[in-house]
Amino acid sequence: MVEILHRVESYTGAPPLVAYAWFRSETLPGFAGKTPHQLVREGDAEHVHAHLDRIMAGGYA
């Protein structure tokens, strides 16, 4: 979780609380409406990392 939050903060320049709000509430397309928090809790952090990789490479979510 911490690594994901750091990635979001460094990429967006968002303060930690904004990154945490995204982590807890933003649903990710293609993951059945689950949030990054839900995915990490279910053991699927690699899906969140892959999603961030696509966005950081200039792709769409």
Q: Give the phi and the psi of residue 6 in degrees, each rounded to 5.
A: -65, -40
Contact 48, 4 (CB under 8 A): yes
Q: Report the chain's C-alpha Rg in angstroms.
A: 11
pTM, to two decimals: 0.86
According to DSSP, residue 60 is labeled -
Contact 36, 47 (CB under 8 A): no
Per residue in 2-60, pLDDT tens? Answer: 999 999 999 999 999 999 999 999 999 999 999 999 999 999 999 999 999 999 999 77
Domain chopping of the chain, boundaries: 2-56
pLDDT of residue 61: 60
pLDDT of residue 60: 72
